[in-house]
Structure 1
Amino acid sequence: MENRSYFRNEILRIEGLRITQYSAYPVFILLFLTYLFIMVSNLGIVMMIVVEKALHKPMYLLFCNLPVNDALNATVVLPGLLKDILAESDRYISYAACVIQAFGVHTFNTCTHSILIIMAFDRYVAICNPLRYNTIMTNKMVVRLSVIAWVAAAVPVIILLALTLRLSHCTSTILNPYCDNPSLFKLSCDNLSVNQIFGVFITVVVLIISISCISLTYLKIAHVCLKNQNSTLKSKAIKTCSTHLILYLIHFGCSCTVIILHRFSAYEELRNLASILIYVIPTSLNPVIYGLQTKEIRHWIEQIFLRRKVIPG
């Protein structure tokens, strides 16, 4: 018990982020501006949907989950990295804080998959069952789907971290730029087979479920569009589904890159870079792609700039 309590109060050293003295400030400025853009763009879209009554539709209310998740996802990692870049000494973090960060890292990344699945379901109902859309996609259904998306992401992460917490430690150095589950269980010299197998199992299950659900949804949508000769329906399907598919492919590609590189210790520097970019690329591109491709959001943004342009005159 005393030994276990010691581990819980242990201070860990994170050495995954290696930046030279000359590149520290340019990297800091670039990362800071990116983080600022991520927060302003994502939270701006959320506020836009909350304020504008015309956007109080299931499609946009479900989408609200994504920018909120992106803002939280970036906040879990990027502020700590910004602090580390300016610090001249190594970064130290308590074991408890490291576990909390790992929980956020995995939950928010997994939640992106579940959010995109419920968004795909909304598009399926809108295109394949338009007459029943308002009956199916009620406010109660929107809340239910949103809760399912977040809970489904958190539960497997809790199990993963519970398996890691049972391990003893033989080192106190995190080789990643931030805390995640693989970095935590690699602190132990115990048999890690259960952690590795279950970690791979959860990853594969999440990817298979997301790929299967979204593929099935798009196949059904494509079938309806090919069967129906309505050009308006086809145009609507292409616009809404292409945006959703681009968001999914960006996140899927970034996630797979990090997962694959985690299995090869020889590419540690590349893995560290990819581990950071996964919190930069999807979180900054999602609001831009969705905002530019969605007619109502684009129109609302244009109205804001037009009002500001007219008022001074």
Structure 2
Amino acid sequence: MKGGNLTVWSFFFLEGFSRYPKLEIVLFVFSLVMYLITLLGNSTLILITVLDSHLQTPMYFFLGNLSFMDICYTSASIPTLLVNLLSSQKTIVFSGCMVQMYLSLAMGSTECVLLAVMAYDRYVAICHPLRYPIIMNRQVCVQMATVSWVTGCVTALLETSFALRVPLCRNLIDHFTCEILAVLKLACTSSLLMDMIMLVVSVLLLPIPMLLICISYVFILSTILRISSAEGRNKAFSTCGAHLTVVILYFGAALSMYLKPSSSSSQEVDKIISLLYGVLTPMLNPIIYSLRNKEVKGAVRKVLVAAPAVVAG
């Protein structure tokens, strides 16, 4: 459907992995299992941080936000992927495509800022332990989380609203989701303004938070190395190790997608990276944070023990 100089499509075809029909069932099973584990793991983490009073600390408050974000992020794109993997007609309506694009950008952008906030939280906890309850009080934590959400949602709104103004000459998206870079490849002409917005937002939400995280961990490492107790050092490394692992996984995938030359890799490679970025990382977050964490393990055991009693009662 065309009007004036602007092409408006009522729906889009999603190429997805249709070039590899034999792999689609395997990818469906893989994606479904990962998605269910993501929902279960992150929902459990949110539940125990709300129910267990020992986990109502700044670190677990931010972790609860991260888990909620991961649920929203995967739910924005994975259900569509699962339906299309089993369908011969892989389509999505225009409005659904734009909502999917916005939610993916908003959740991904918010997570970038939140991971930097969590690094600052660890910096205060380890480098200024006596002042930690004062500096990271409830009000400050809520404000930091709010800034993360607002930053992510506003930048996503900016990118999506400008992407809507770009005239598209085709409606076949070479991706399994309405990922903004894949949609912009359908543009009739390149838009310098759109390119500048994408670059500015990418720099604002990727290298800058990464720099803040690195600075925080330079001070953290310096403080840990001065701890005389081996047990104290191990505890500090344990709490920071989980966060660093998530940071490396998340920012590694994001940087490879958004801050690389457009011709440096094929679209097929981008799809695989997007799948890992969108399914594997959110699934691993609760596992990474709970694997070596005695408090989380203890809280999960309490919930599992209490659940049958509640059902029986």
| TM-score clears 0.5 | yes
Q: Distance in 2 between matches of 1:119 and 1:19?
A: 41
Q: Deviations over 1:14-68 (max 9, x none)?
A: 1133264444333322221111111001111101111112211111111111111
Q: Distance in 1 between matches of 2:292 and 2:53?
A: 19
Aligned partner of 2:103 in structure 1 is 104
Aligned partner of 2:88 in structure 1 is 88
1:308–1:205 distance in 2 versus 1, CA, 3 Å:
closer
Aligned partner of 1:66 in structure 2 is 66
| Identity level (%) | 25
Contact 1:262 1:271 in 2 (8 A): no
- Structure 1 window deviating more from structure 2 (224-233 vs 150-159): it is 224-233
Number of aligned residue pairs: give it: 309
Aligned partner of 2:126 in structure 1 is 127
What 5-or-longer segments of structure 1 have no aligned partner?
A: none
| Residue 150 (structure 1) aligned with residue 149 (structure 2) | yes
Aligned partner of 1:41 in structure 2 is 41
1:82–1:261 distance in 2 versus 1, CA, 3 Å:
farther
Once the two structures are TM-superposed, the CA of residue 116 in structure 1 deviates from its matched residue by 0.9
Once the two structures are TM-superposed, the CA of residue 11 in structure 1 deviates from its matched residue by 1.8
Q: What is the TM-score with the length of structure 2 in the denominator?
A: 0.89
Q: Deviations over 1:252-301 (max 9, x none)?
A: 11212333677127612122122112112211111101011222002223
Contact 1:103 1:180 in 2 (8 A): no
Aligned partner of 1:181 in structure 2 is 180
Q: Distance in 1 between matches of 2:171 and 2:58?
A: 47
1:262–1:176 distance in 2 versus 1, CA, 3 Å:
farther
Contact 2:73 2:108 in 1 (8 A): yes
Q: Distance in 1 between matches of 2:305 and 2:115?
A: 32
- Structure 1 window deviating more from structure 2 (57-66 vs 3-12): it is 3-12
Once the two structures are TM-superposed, the CA of residue 302 in structure 1 deviates from its matched residue by 3.9
Q: Distance in 1 between matches of 2:4 and 2:144?
A: 39
Contact 2:206 2:255 in 1 (8 A): no
Report the AA paired with residue 287 of structure 1: P
Q: Distance in 2 between matches of 1:233 and 1:176?
A: 47
Which residues of 2 match residues 211-250 of structure 1 at below 5 A? 211-250=210-249
1:39 match: secondary structure: helix
What 5-or-longer segments of structure 2 have no aligned partner?
A: none
Q: What is the TM-score with the length of structure 1 in the denominator?
A: 0.89
Which residues of 2 match residues 248-287 of structure 1 at below 5 A? 248-259=247-258, 263-264=262-263, 267-287=266-286
Once the two structures are TM-superposed, the CA of residue 230 in structure 1 deviates from its matched residue by 4.5
Contact 1:12 1:172 in 2 (8 A): yes
1:305–1:51 distance in 2 versus 1, CA, 3 Å:
closer
Once the two structures are TM-superposed, the CA of residue 305 in structure 1 deviates from its matched residue by 5.7
Contact 1:169 1:189 in 2 (8 A): yes
Report the AA paired with residue 3 of structure 1: G
1:266–1:126 distance in 2 versus 1, CA, 3 Å:
closer
Aligned partner of 1:163 in structure 2 is 162
Aligned partner of 1:200 in structure 2 is 199
